[in-house]
Structure 1
Amino acid sequence: MTGKGVITVNADVKIEQLTSIEYHLNELSDLLVQVVDDGASIGFLPPMERSEAVDYWSSDINPDVILLVAKLQGKIVGSVQLHVCSKQNGSHRAEIAKLMTHTGYRRNGIGRSLMLEAEKRSEQEGRTLLVLDTREGDPSNSLYTSLGYTQAGRIPDYAKSANGDLHPTIFYFKIISGHEWKG
């Protein structure tokens, strides 16, 4: 089985949880290379070698990671990861990681749909707190605030770009599952 829980974004785009990457390794690797080479700050620097992307997908996805993909006409055009905390004192939280949308499909609600499905899955996993970080100034900052994420802090010089410049990152959180933040 390669997926479950197919969610329709619109008539053409579907959000699906992958339980195995075996049949999707090439598409996931192509997506990762494409977004990194376009400048996405998701832990890698451009230019990205395809072998590095294959190594990442082959080794870094584990049972604590829920991998959601967006498919258009059967092709993967986006993905997001939900890292559920396995520590006893963190069994209520998860981290959103590596939200990616292929550049040819951006501004069509794919990232938003992936985030909403990640939130739904986190609730199903009994998680009430989501955290994430993103480079300051990236378009994703607007997406996260529009979805109700609260800025928790800013760390200067956190992420390095391909030219060696250092950029700040913003940490966000969101209380979900009907819980209210009393901060």
Structure 2
Amino acid sequence: MSVVLQQLDADATRAHVPALCDLLMDCVAGGASVGFVQPMSVAKAQRFWEGAADAVERDETVLLVARDGDGRIAGTVQLMLATKENQLHRADVSKLLVHRRARRLGVGAQLMREAEAVARRIGRTVLVLDTATPEAERLYVREGWSLCGTIPDYALMPDGSMCATTIFYKRLS
């Protein structure tokens, strides 16, 4: 799928909250373990994205979106920038979300590559992430990420069942 990648500033994030809520709600409805359990509400999604906009405004988060050919947001990923003095070289990759209509079309890989490019540009040399989804694990391995290990019973899936999380890292050259 051909997408246009874009970094959103805080104002653009706030302007796109309805579309971002749709994306998040679709992912949770599809079973993605991204920090939310059912019932998922628009209000929960709005609070999340408003908080993300605030973090972008504080320069603690970089928010990237992928737009499909119709201009709709098909996916997003965040770089959560470590802010402690001894960790300014590091960032966490968070909330890789791809709408179900755009899955298995390369959107996630494009977002991950762009997140890595942005991290390099701002001087981040070590990235970390965690995932509960085997499909996402395959993506990260294909993209050259290294497996650290798995923690059992780490979080809840949207249906309330326990799930493990797998930790990955990548050193950027």
Using the size of structure 2 for normalisation, the TM-score is 0.92
Match of 1:42 among 31, 34, 41: 34
Counterpart residue number, 1:141:
137
CA 1:162–1:98 in structure 2 vs 1: closer, same or farther (change >3 Å)? Answer: closer
The partner residue of 2:163 within 164, 167, 174 is: 167
Q: How many matched pairs?
A: 166
Structure 1 stretches of 4+ moved >2 Å: 161-165
Give the corresponding residue for 1:131: 128
Structure 1 residue aligned with 2:8: 18
Aligned with 1:74: secondary structure?
coil
Match of 2:112 in 1: 115
Partner AA of 2:5 in structure 1: I
Unpaired runs of 5+ in structure 2? Answer: none
Percent of aligned positions that are identical:
39
Instruction: State the shift of 1:69 in Å.
Output: 0.2
Bigger radius of gyration? 1
Find the counterpart in structure 1 of residue 90 from structure 2.
93
> Which secondary structure does the structure 1 equivalent of 2:114 belong to?
helix
Answering whether residue 99 of structure 2 is matched by residue 102 of structure 1, we say yes
Q: Does 1:60 align with 2:57?
A: no
Tell me which amino acid in the other structure corresponds to 1:130: L
Which whole-Å CA distance do the structure 1 matches of 2:34 and 2:64 have between them?
16
Counterparts of 2:39 and 2:30 in 1: how far apart (Å)?
9
Higher helix fraction (1 or 2): 2
For the aligned residue pairs, the C-alpha RMSD in angstroms reads 1.3
How far, CA to CA, are the matches of 2:90 and 2:158 in structure 1? 32
Between the aligned partners of 2:126 and 2:158, the Cα distance in structure 1 is 32
Please list the CA deviations of residues 44-101 of structure 1 after superposition, one character each: whole Å capped at 9, or x if unmatched: 1133101110111112331210000000121111000011111111011000000010
Contact 1:29 1:57 in 2 (8 A): yes
Query: Could you say what secondary structure the match of 1:45 adopts?
Result: coil
CA distance in 2, matches of 1:162, 1:42: 8
